[in-house]
A and B are shown apart, each in its own frame.
Chain A
Amino acid sequence: MMGSENADGFEETNLNVPKEEMENLVLNGDGAGDGTGDSSNSAYRSAMSTLSNVHDPLSPLPTVLTPANSDPLTAPSSYIEPPSYADVIFSPFDETSDSEINGGEDSSLSPDSLSRSPSSSSSDYIKITVSNPQKEQETSNSIVGGNTYITYQITTRTNLPDFGVSESSVRRRFRDVVTLADRLAESYRGFCIPPRPDKSVVESQVMQKQEFVEQRRVALEKYLRRLSAHPVIRKSDELKVFLQVQGKLPLPMSTDVASRMLDGAVKLPKQLFGEGGASAVPVHEVVQPARGGRDLLRLFKELRQSVSNDWGGSKPAVVEEDKEFLEKKEKMLDLEQQIINSSQQAESLVKAQQDMGETMGELGLAFIKLTKFENEEAVFNSQRTRATDMKNLATAAVKASRFYRELNSQTVKHLDTLHEYLGMMMAVQGAFADRSSALLTVQTLLSELSSLQARAEKLEAASSKVFGGDKSRIRKIEELKETIKVTEDAKNVAIREYERIKDNNRSEVERLDGERRADFMNMMKGFVVNQVGYAEKISNVWAKAAEETSQYDREKQSS
C-alpha cells in the first residue's frame, strides 16, 4: 500500500530523526565553544553567518543550521505545508512552473474524490467522514453477554436536494456496510459499483486492534466517498437509508448468493414501470421483495434448482454472441493487468525516491559531524578550509534530502490514482458479471421453454390417439400450458432485464472510460510538474555548493 492517507505522518516521522540529530550537533557545537580553541569556533561561526546571510531564494530553509536561532526546529511543518513553501521556494523568474506548482498542488488529487471531469459540477457537494470508532456490545439474553463489535460515526454534509437534510450523522458497524454493498449490487445490476472494503478476517486477528480499526476506518471512508461520487448511486435509496436513518439499518441482510440473480429479476416489474433505476420506488418497497413478483419468484427458484440439479441436461453455458462485448471485456482485463503492473512499479519508484532522500540526508549528517570534528581539532589552516568545504557540501546534501522527501510525498498522492483505479476495474468486472448472469437467465428460460413445449406436444399427440380424450392427460396438458405461459412471461421479463443491464453496462463503461482518462491525465500532469519543480530546487541547491567550491574547479584550468 502506498499509504497516501498517511502521507503527513510518514513525512513527520522521517524528518524528525535527522533534524533532532542536527539540532544536537549544532547546538552542542556552539555551546562547547567556550574555552576550547576559540579561534576555531569563531571561524565556524563566521562560516555559518556567511551562509545565512547569502541572499538566495532558499535562505529561509537553512535556519535549522544557524546556531543563532534558539529554536531552529519549531517550524518544521511550514516546510511540509505546500502553499507557504511554494511561495518561498520558487525563483521569481520561473513563473510558469511557479503557477503550475501552485495549481498542481491545489488540484493534486486528495484520496477523497477522483474525478475532475465535468460530470460532477462544482455546485453539487457531498462530503462523508468516518470517525470515532467505539466498542459496543450486542444485547443478549445470556448471562455471559453478547459479542462486542466496533461502530463508526458516519457524518454526511451535502447540498444535494435528494437528501433532504444538509447534515446527518449515524453510527454503523461493518456488517451494515456489507449489507449496503449487497443491496446495491442487486439494485444496480450492470453498473460499475465501487467494491466495498474487505472483511479482512485474517488481518483482524493478526494486526493490533487499534491499527486494524484505523485501517478499516480509512477504508470505509474511501468506500463511502467513492459511492457518493458515482452519479447514479449517490441518489440511491439504499445509500440514503444507510447515511441518514438512525438506529438499526433497515435493509435486509444478505440472502444466499445463488438466489440473488433471481431476486434481482423480481424487482423488475416495479422498475420497468418506474423510471428505470430504483429512483421511483418508495423506501419501504426497497426493503421487501415486490409482492407482484411472487409467482415469478417461485418459478425462478424452481428453475434455479433444476439448473443446479441437472448438469447433464440440455442447458448450454452462456453463449455470448456479442463480439463487441467480448472485445471490450478482453480490453478491460488487459487494462486491469497493466494498471496492476503500473501500480506495483509506482510503489517501487516511491520507495527508491524515499531511500535516495534518506541516504542523502545521512551523508549530509556525516559531513556535519566531520565538520564539527575538524573545527574542534583544528590545528592547521588547511583543516579549517576543509571544514568549510565540507560544511557547504553537507548543507547542500541536507537540503537536497529534504526536497527528495517532499517530492516523494507528493508523488505518492499523484500515483495513488493508479491504485484507486484498481478498485474501479473490479467494479467493471462486477458489471460485466451482472450482464453475463442476466444472459444466463434468458438462455436458461429459453431452453426451459422449448423443452416444456416439446413435452406439451408429445402429450397432445398421445392424448389425441385415445378416443373421447384422456382425462388425466388433458389435465396435465392444461397445467403444462399454464406453466408455459408463466415461463413465457418470465422469459420476456428476463430479456428486458438483460437489455436494461446491457444499457447500464454501456453507459457506465463509457462514463468510466471518460473519468479514467481525465484522472490519468491529471495524474501524469501532477507527477511531471512535481518532478520538474523539485528537480529545479535540487539543482539550485547543488549549483550553490558548486559555486562555493569553485576554487577547486579543475576543468576550467588549462593544463
Chain B
Amino acid sequence: MITEQARNVMQSPRSPSSQPYLSASVTDPVKLGNGVQAYISYRVITKTNLPEYQGPEKIVIRRYSDFVWLRDRLFEKYKGVFVPPLPEKSAVEKFRFSAEFIEMRRAALDIFVNRIASHPELQQSEDLRTFLQADEETMERFRFQETGIFNKKPADFMQMFRDVQSKVSDAVLGKEKPVEETTPEYEKLKHYIFELENHLAEAQKHAYRLVKRHRELGQSLLDFGKAVKLLGACEGEPTGKLFSDLGTKSELVSIKLQKEAQQVLMNFEEPLKDYVRYVHDKLMLTRSDKVGEAEIEYREMKAESEEATIRFERIVKRMNEEIVRFQEQKTEEMGVAFHQFAKGQARLANGIADTWRALLPKLEAASSA
C-alpha cells in the first residue's frame, strides 16, 4: 500500500544494518472490558535500528484513542503535511465488535502507523516515538492530558478550535480570494478536493453495495441449490441425479461468491474508503486555521515582516510537495486495488465457469439418451 520506494528503504529488515529502517505493525486485537466500557487493545510491534529508539524490537499495547492522540499531535505540529487518516470512531459498531469490524479496524490502523513511519518528516516525530515506545501508564497519562477538563475527546476539541479559527479567518479575509498572488492555486485545489471527495464517495458507495450483491447472489444460489436437490429427490432417474448434481454445483458457486465478497471488501472497498478519508481530511486541512492564520499574519505584516512571508511560503511549499507525494501514492495504491479487483473478478468468473462446466457432459448424455 505504501509507495514501494519508501517501504523498501525504511522497512526492510534484511537490508544491511547501516541502512536505517523503521517498521511497525498492528496485530492481535483483543477485546477488553465490559458493556459500554468495552474496547479493543492492539499489539504494536516496532522494528528499527534507529538510535532514537530502544532496541531492535519493541512491543507495546495500544487502544484506538491512543492512535487518535498520535494523529492529533501530528496534525497540530506538522502543518501542511498530509497526515494519514484514521478509520472512523464508530460508536455503534463498537458495541457489536463483530470479527469483521475488528479485523478491518486492525488493518486500517496498521496502514495508518506504517504510513507515518514511512513519511520522511513524520517519522522523525517525537510523538511517534512516544506512541511506539512508551509503556502503557505513560501513554495513558499523555492521553488524559489532552482531554483536559472538557471531557471531550482531543479530536473533537481541536476540531471546535479549528472551526472557530477558520471562521475568523474567513471573516477577516472575506469570502473572496484574499490575496490574488497567493491563493488562486489554493482555491482551485480546494475546489478540486471537494469535487474529488464527492466522486470518490459515490464510487465507494457502489463498491460497498457490490460486496453486498456478491453475498446476496451467493445466498440465493445456496438456497436454489438446496431447493433443486429436494426437487431431485422427488423425481426418478435420470432427472433426480441431475438435479442433485445441479444443487451441489450451485452450492459450490455460492461458496466462491462469498469468498470473493470478502476479498472485494478488503482489497477494493477498504482502499476506496481510505482514499475518501484521506481526501476528506485534506479538505479539512485546506479549511484549517493554520493556513488562514498564516494568511492573516501575512497580510498584516506583509510590508513589515519577512519572517511571516517566509513562514507562509514554507507552508505552501510543503503543501505542494505533499500534494505531489499524495497524488503519486494514491495512484499507486489505487492501481494496486484496481488490479486486485480485476484479478479477483476474473478468477471468480473462471471458477464459476469451471464449476458449471463440469455438469455439461452428464446433461448432454442424459438429454440425447
- Contact between B349 and A553, CB atoms less than 8 A apart: no
For chain A, residues 340 to 357, give those with C-beta under 8 angstroms from any C-beta of chain B. 341-342, 344-346, 348-349, 351-353, 355-356
- Contact between B234 and A536, CB atoms less than 8 A apart: no
Q: How far is the CA of A339 from the CA of B230 in the complex (A)?
A: 9
- Contact between A382 and B230, CB atoms less than 8 A apart: no
A389 interface contact, C-beta 8 A = yes
- Contact between A341 and B327, CB atoms less than 8 A apart: no
CB-CB nearest in chain A for B245: A524
Q: How far is the CA of A390 from the CA of B334 in the complex (A)?
A: 9
A241 interface contact, C-beta 8 A = no
CB-CB nearest in chain B for A536: B353
A14 interface contact, C-beta 8 A = no
A546 interface contact, C-beta 8 A = yes
**Contact string against B for A residues 360-391, beta-carbon threshold 8 Å, 1 for contact and 0 otherwise:** 10110011011001100100101101100110
A396 interface contact, C-beta 8 A = yes
Q: A373, A518, A553: which contacts B339 (Cβ < 8 A)? A: A553
- List the B side residues contacting A309 at CB < 8 Å: none
- List the B side residues contacting A353 at CB < 8 Å: 217
B6 interface contact, C-beta 8 A = no
Q: A383, A400, A553: which contacts B327 (Cβ < 8 A)? A: A383
- Contact between A335 and B235, CB atoms less than 8 A apart: yes
- Contact between B243 and A520, CB atoms less than 8 A apart: yes
Q: A345, A349, A529, A545: which contacts B342 (Cβ < 8 A)? A: A545
B302 interface contact, C-beta 8 A = no
CB-CB nearest in chain B for A526: B363
B129 interface contact, C-beta 8 A = no
Main secondary structure of the interface of B (DSSP, over half): helix
CB-CB nearest in chain B for A369: B199
| Shortest Cβ gap from A316 to chain B (Å) | 32
B338 interface contact, C-beta 8 A = yes
Main secondary structure of the interface of A (DSSP, over half): helix
Known contacts A363-B203, A517-B235; A538 and B345 CB within 8 A of each other: yes
A543 interface contact, C-beta 8 A = yes
Q: How far is the CA of A320 from the CA of B340 in the complex (A)?
A: 66
A42 interface contact, C-beta 8 A = no
- List the A side residues contacting B350 at CB < 8 Å: 535, 539
- List the B side residues contacting A377 at CB < 8 Å: 192, 195-196
**Contact string against B for A residues 488-518, beta-carbon threshold 8 Å, 1 for contact and 0 otherwise:** 0000000000000000000000000100111
- List the B side residues contacting A380 at CB < 8 Å: 324, 327-328
Can you give 11 A-B contacts (C-beta < 8 A)?
A352-B219, A359-B206, A363-B203, A363-B207, A370-B199, A377-B195, A386-B334, A528-B359, A532-B353, A536-B353, A542-B346
Sort A-B residue pairs by CB-CB distance and give the 4 closest, nearest first: A539-B349, A535-B353, A542-B346, A552-B335
Known contacts A352-B217, A373-B195, A549-B338; 7 additional CB pairs below 8 A are A360-B213, A363-B210, A389-B335, A524-B242, A531-B353, A535-B349, A551-B335
Interface residues of B, Cβ cutoff 8 Å to A: 192, 195-196, 199-200, 202-203, 205-207, 209-210, 212-214, 216-217, 219-221, 223-224, 226-228, 230-231, 233-236, 238-239, 242-243, 246, 324, 327-328, 330-332, 334-336, 338-339, 341-343, 345-346, 349-350, 352-353, 356-357, 359-360, 363-364, 366-367
